[in-house]
Amino acid sequence: MAEPEPAPAGLADAVLLAPLTEDSFLHNLHVRYKRDIIYTYVGNALVSVNPCRALPLYSAELVRTYLARPPYLLPPHLYAITATAYRWVRDRNENQCIVITGESGAGKTEAARVCLQCAVVAGGGGGGGGGALAAAGTLLEAFGNAATARNHNASRFGKLLDIEFDFKGEPVGGHITHYLLEKERVCRAAEGERNFHVLYQLLAGADAHLLKRLKLQRSWEQYRVLRGGAGCAAGACAGCAECAGAAGGAGAGGGASPRRAPPQPPPGPRAPQADRDHFAFTKAAMGALGFSAGQCGAVLRLLAFLLKLGNVQFEPQHNIDGSIGTRLQHEYELREACALVGVEADALVSALGAAPPLAAHDDTAPLEAACSVEEECSSEAGSETEGAGAEWARALRDRLLCALYSRLFTWLVNAVNDAIKPAVVGARRSLGILDVYGLESLAHNGLERLLINYAAERVQAAVTAATLRREQEEYAREGLAWTPLPYADHELYADLLDAGPESVLGTLRDCSARGASDSVFLQRLQRRRHPRLLVLPPDRFQVVHFGGAVVYSARGVVQKNRDALCRRCAAVLAAAREPLLAALFAAGSPRRPCALACRQRALVGALVRRLPPAPRLVRCLRADAALRPHRFDGALLRHQIRTQGIMDMALLRRAGWCESMCARSVVARYGVLRACAGAAAPASPVERDEPVRAARALLRSLPIPSAEFAYGRTKVFIRSPRTVWELEALRAARVEALVRAAQRAWRRHRARARHRAARRIALAWRRHRQRRAAPRAGGAAGATRVIWRAWCAHARRRYLAALWARLPARHRSPACAAWPPCPQPRLLARTDALLRRLHHRWRCHLYRRAFDQTARNRMREKVTASVLFKDRKLNYARSVGHPFVGDYVRLRASAAWRRGLGAAAADRYVVFADVVGKVARSSGRVSRCLAVVSTGALLLLEARSLRLKRRVPAHCVYRLSLSPYADDLLVVHVRACGGLESSTEELSQCSSREPLDAPGCLFGGEGAWRRRGDLLVRTCHVLELATKLFLVVQNAVGAPPHVNIATEFEANFGQQMVTVSFHAVGGAAGDGGARLLRRGSRMDVLL
């Protein structure tokens, strides 16, 4: 627990309050808030009260202070929570997650930014991955945040930022997961609110030349999508009750400004100077993330296209023939917008002005039917009601704007993820910062508000389950003396929205799938009769969330959930000359897109499953509904404290324990303190078998009060965060002492080794001096021998010193016989020959080591071909430089071959496959077929259908015959083996009515094998086929087949033995084609 601060500033940790009640807790927050102390601990969680103004509470030096000192010695701060999580990632190698919750306007976005900055500084500053992470936050804030009636800088999307750290604790990258951007704000911002920040930043911060290139004006009042609720055209937004009721006054209020204060003063937009500054920050962030100038320009052009397309209006007009058509207003805006991105303006007008389809099964007003956007646009629709065509065109325009901005935002998030992902892939630990939606209840609440509140509901339920229910269940499971504390179970609120097919989202999904209307959806909700669900006719329903009741509009909710886009409009944008716009609307899967509620439900479910069992909690509170500084609304804060379960958490922390660890983990992590405490002896077998007893003995030996620990069946519970930090400090001191002892031992070892080496050198030097000082005998003969030996040593040294520069290059083949000449053959001949042999063996070793298994197999085949055909086959020399490919038809990649067509499982591995010519033995004609050599047989298949024509097992091949010329004929001699080589098709052709020795029967009789005979094939890879077949037979039988190379040999043609004779006509070597002639018992091959 945190150290108590002076009484006038309240208590830093609310758990220490006496008595701990809601009133005392609120009074403590008020006392601290008046002194600009906005942070308060609740055990190991943090409560932050939004001051609604800037305070000097953040700096890099303060981050380093919280990293250097234990947090309980410093005042409560977001830096303390982030620094603690960072230490756990770096020291304990554990994933951490900081969950920031609170209502809209409570300061969650600012808290997430502070946590990110603290993590970056803690990891070593803003360079490298840390700078990219900070830039990513700035960029997404510009494109994803907007000013609402409750918040100047409200996040209109949820995000989870995972910061990855290396083993040194430095940030190396990250990943951002975003959840449901509120895209309807693009075409319709409520009164007193603003659109997304980047649209205002572009108009305020772009220079005159950029605005001229983008064909924009400086004043934001010129653009309908930026003028707020008063500028929304009547009926243009599906499901917008305000627009439907303001059809007559849309034109008069078109110039209203969101800076005008509504009845309750909203936060309003930022000043133009702030927008100019933030536009520079946004451009700098895009540059820091690696966006090219072309990508930045494409993004700005898409934003300008969105602004100008939003000004295009459609009005109904009466045609001469009495029909009602659609008239385009502000056509110049449309054509300028299309010219920016290279879109055909006429095609876009045609797609937007198409007649709406009839509402087939809806009994609502024509306006609702006109504003429902289907997947397909049909210009052959039936009769229209007056004004339905114009309303339909406006609805299509707004859908197109929403889809464009949503897809652009998704593209930006993906580009940011590519920029901040770690350069090296590997398993690392991460620190997650979750900034999810706050519960909202605005003037108009539609489908997107329902999904936003659903995400807040689910996260709140998960946090409550992690901090309240899970811990109490763990206390009971471990057998601790514990009285259960009551708490509000938020799972019941969340189950109303997504548990089962009768929930709100389940009913919406079913209605969207069946194409039902909004009235059917409301009827199904009314039939459920849930106490927290109330249907308010004619088109609204109320859901009681954990933070209060919210009324939602059901107008167009089913169609919005389908999230469909007109295919004709998408096709027009997909054909744009702007590459980014064409990529955003490129044709994808023909399947219907997943419903909006289903996508949000899947993302939130994955997020909840991903949260750790004990996340770091930051509870943000809003002190004033209008976000005015120096205001403290006690009733509002009391409501937030109750709905977020803060008092339940405080009571749990006061009566329970702040952290639990497995007893084995305690012994493993803090076992180094055993020797420090004087218990250096190893643990006994009883302690090793009972980790709780070992942990108890270890912790009792430390200078920490025993009351700080409680022992369950398998875990150890720690009372306060201060105790955890004392344990970590003791362990760090002990590890530092052990490291120093290891360093001292190493230095002693190195000094002793150096001393021994110095003694040996000194002894060797003294002996050398003694030998030189000794008198020498022998006179002139001795001097001659000394000179000769000196000259020989000099010659050897000079030879060896010069040899390395004259050696052959390493990359040359080992077959290269190059070797530098020996300078002194009489003296160095043996040495030179020995070094030459060693060098040759070394080069052969390098050559072999560079081979993988595939290269070894190919070399083996090439060596076998050299042994078989070198100087025996005329076309061998031309085949040396061509590698043996084997599978020339890519049979291994064929899906039909993998399914088992054409061969059994034993013949699945392909050694050789190519289209060959099978020679007919009767006439000598050649028919094409597919020859496949597997590890056990030679297969002949139909080239297209892979139907098996003949199978020759490897053990049946006993000879291969070829000619010495450069022809392409190969004869495979097959020994008599009965019907083993027959295919299923051939066996099925034998009639049961014929005798076994009847002509044409493949079974029985001693002449049956003769009718099969040998196999004659022609292929341009004849040497490769012969070599691979030779090796397959050798591996299968254990003995190689005989390879006969002659100009004449005999072959078994089934009924008789035929002599195959090769003739080189005109003395040619057979380089051209071969002609086969069959004459009785002879077959002549003319080359």
pLDDT tens-digit series, residues 90-113:
888 889 999 999 888 888 999 999
Q: pLDDT by residue (tens digit) across 450-487?
A: 998 899 888 888 888 767 888 888 888 888 888 888 88
* Predicted local confidence at residue 264, as pLDDT: 39
Q: Please compute the mean of the pLDDT values over residues 64-78 and round it to a whole number.
A: 87
CA angle 562, 563, 568 (to 5 degrees): 110
Measured in whole angstroms, how far is the alpha carbon of residue 984 from the centre of its chain?
A: 50
Beta pairing, strands 151-155 & 145-148: antiparallel
Task: Report how far apart the first and last C-alpha atoms of the chain are (Å, whole number).
Answer: 100
Q: In this structure, are residues 663 and 716 in contact, taking their beta carbons and an 8 Å threshold? A: yes
In the β-sheet with 659-662, what is the strand arrangement from edge to edge?
659-662, 715-718, 709-711
| Cβ neighbour number for residue 567 with a 10 Å cutoff | 15
Structure-token match 């609204």, residue found: 540
Residue 372 to residue 391: CA distance in whole angstroms: 10
Residue 604 to residue 109: CA distance in whole angstroms: 19
Q: Please compute the mean of the pLDDT values over residues 721-748 and round it to a whole number.
A: 90
- Which has the higher per-residue pLDDT, 900 or 1060? 1060
pLDDT of 182 over the 90 cut = no
What is the model's pTM?
0.65
Half-sphere exposure of 689 (CA within 13 A, CB side): 3
pLDDT band at 670 (very low <50, low <70, confident <90, very high): confident
Q: In this structure, are residues 145 and 152 in contact, taking their beta carbons and an 8 Å threshold? A: no
Residue 718's H or E segment, with its range, is strand 715-718
Half-sphere exposure of 438 (CA within 13 A, CB side): 26
Own/partner pairs, 288-292, CB within 8 angstroms, 24+ separation: 288/131, 288/132, 288/135, 289/132, 289/135, 289/136, 289/139, 289/415, 289/416, 289/419, 289/420, 290/419, 291/415, 291/419
Measured in whole angstroms, how far is the alpha carbon of residue 637 from the centre of its chain?
A: 41
Smallest Cα–Cα separation from 417: which of 669, 18, 136? Answer: 136
Q: Identify the DSSP state of 9.
A: G
pLDDT of 904 over the 80 cut = no
Structure-token match 């390098």, residue found: 846
Helix (H, G, I), strand (E, B) or coil at 678: coil
* Predicted local confidence at residue 676, as pLDDT: 57
Question: What is the dihedral sign for C-alpha 522, 526, 532, 538?
Answer: positive
Q: In this structure, are residues 227 and 256 in contact, taking their beta carbons and an 8 Å threshold? A: yes
- Judged by average pLDDT, the poorest of 120-134, 580-594, 987-1001 is 987-1001
pLDDT of 722 over the 50 cut = yes
| Cβ neighbour number for residue 515 with a 10 Å cutoff | 14
pLDDT band at 439 (very low <50, low <70, confident <90, very high): confident
Q: Please compute the mean of the pLDDT values over residues 108-120 and round it to a whole number.
A: 92
Let me know if 908 is exposed, middle or buried by CB neighbors in 10 A (0-12, 13-18, 19+).
middle
Q: In this structure, are residues 616 and 81 in contact, taking their beta carbons and an 8 Å threshold? A: yes
Q: Please compute the mean of the pLDDT values over residues 828-836 and round it to a whole number.
A: 90
Q: pLDDT by residue (tens digit) across 518-532?
A: 899 998 988 888 888
- Which has the higher per-residue pLDDT, 868 or 658? 868
Smallest Cα–Cα separation from 1018: which of 926, 1086, 1085, 892? Answer: 926
Residue 292 to residue 200: CA distance in whole angstroms: 22
* Predicted local confidence at residue 1003, as pLDDT: 38
* Predicted local confidence at residue 1072, as pLDDT: 54
Q: Identify whether 272 is preceded by a cis peptide bond (ω within 30 of 0).
A: no
Residue 515 to residue 938: CA distance in whole angstroms: 60
| SS3 track for 291-332 | CCHHHHHHHHHHHHHHHHHHCCEEEEEECCCCCEEEEEECHH
Q: Identify whether 19 is preceded by a cis peptide bond (ω within 30 of 0).
A: yes
Strand partners for 541? 535, 552
Residue 190 to residue 211: CA distance in whole angstroms: 27
pLDDT of 140 over the 90 cut = yes
Smallest Cα–Cα separation from 619: which of 21, 40, 1028? Answer: 40
pLDDT of 992 over the 60 cut = no
**Across all residues in the chain, what is the average pLDDT?**
81
Residue 300 to residue 294: CA distance in whole angstroms: 10
Q: In this structure, are residues 500 and 506 in contact, taking their beta carbons and an 8 Å threshold? A: yes
- Judged by average pLDDT, the poorest of 40-44, 510-514, 741-745, 774-778 is 774-778
CA angle 89, 94, 95 (to 5 degrees): 85
Both tokens assigned to 237: 């937004």
- Judged by average pLDDT, the poorest of 157-166, 628-637, 848-857, 905-914 is 848-857
Angle between helical axes of 491-498 and 504-514 (0-180°, round to 10):
10
pLDDT band at 983 (very low <50, low <70, confident <90, very high): very low
Residue 329 to residue 309: CA distance in whole angstroms: 11
Q: pLDDT by residue (tens digit) across 936-950?
A: 899 999 888 888 888
Both tokens assigned to 1072: 């051209």
Q: Where are the alpha helices (DSSP H) in 529-683?
A: 557-562, 567-574, 579-584, 596-610, 634-643, 646-655, 663-670, 673-676
Q: In this structure, are residues 98 and 432 in contact, taking their beta carbons and an 8 Å threshold? A: yes
* Predicted local confidence at residue 985, as pLDDT: 39
Radius of gyration of the chain (CA): 43
Q: Which of 78-92, 357-371, 382-396 has the highest mean pLDDT?
A: 78-92
Q: pLDDT by residue (tens digit) across 192-229?
A: 888 999 999 999 999 999 999 999 999 888 898 888 65
Both tokens assigned to 819: 């070797």
Residue 795 to residue 791: CA distance in whole angstroms: 6
**Virtual CA dihedral for 804, 805, 806, 808, nearest 10 degrees?**
80
Residue 236 to residue 434: CA distance in whole angstroms: 35
Helix (H, G, I), strand (E, B) or coil at 374: coil
Helix (H, G, I), strand (E, B) or coil at 600: helix
Residue 558 to residue 595: CA distance in whole angstroms: 10
Instruction: List, as one string, the DSSP characters of 1055-1078.
Output: SSEEEEEEE-GGG--S-S--EEEE
Instruction: List, as one string, the DSSP characters of 721-754.
Output: HHHHHHHHHHHHHHHHHHHHHHHHHHHHHHHHHH
pLDDT of 1012 over the 80 cut = no
Q: pLDDT by residue (tens digit) across 767-795?
A: 888 887 776 555 677 678 888 888 888 88
In the β-sheet with 1048-1052, what is the strand arrangement from edge to edge?
1048-1052, 1057-1063, 1082-1086, 1075-1079
Q: pLDDT by residue (tens digit) across 365-387?
A: 333 333 344 444 433 333 344 44
* Predicted local confidence at residue 302, as pLDDT: 94
Let me know if 679 is exposed, middle or buried by CB neighbors in 10 A (0-12, 13-18, 19+).
middle
- Which has the higher per-residue pLDDT, 356 or 117? 117
pLDDT band at 127 (very low <50, low <70, confident <90, very high): low
* Predicted local confidence at residue 542, as pLDDT: 92
pLDDT band at 687 (very low <50, low <70, confident <90, very high): low
* Predicted local confidence at residue 261, as pLDDT: 38
* Predicted local confidence at residue 1067, as pLDDT: 56
* Predicted local confidence at residue 902, as pLDDT: 66
Helix (H, G, I), strand (E, B) or coil at 662: strand
* Predicted local confidence at residue 8, as pLDDT: 63
Phi and psi angles of residue 18, each rounded to the nearest 5 degrees, phi first:
-140, 115
pLDDT of 1074 over the 50 cut = yes
Q: Please compute the mean of the pLDDT values over residues 488-511 and round it to a whole number.
A: 85
CA distances from residue 773 to 759, 763, 770, 776 in whole angstroms, order as listed: 21, 15, 5, 9
pLDDT of 245 over the 80 cut = no
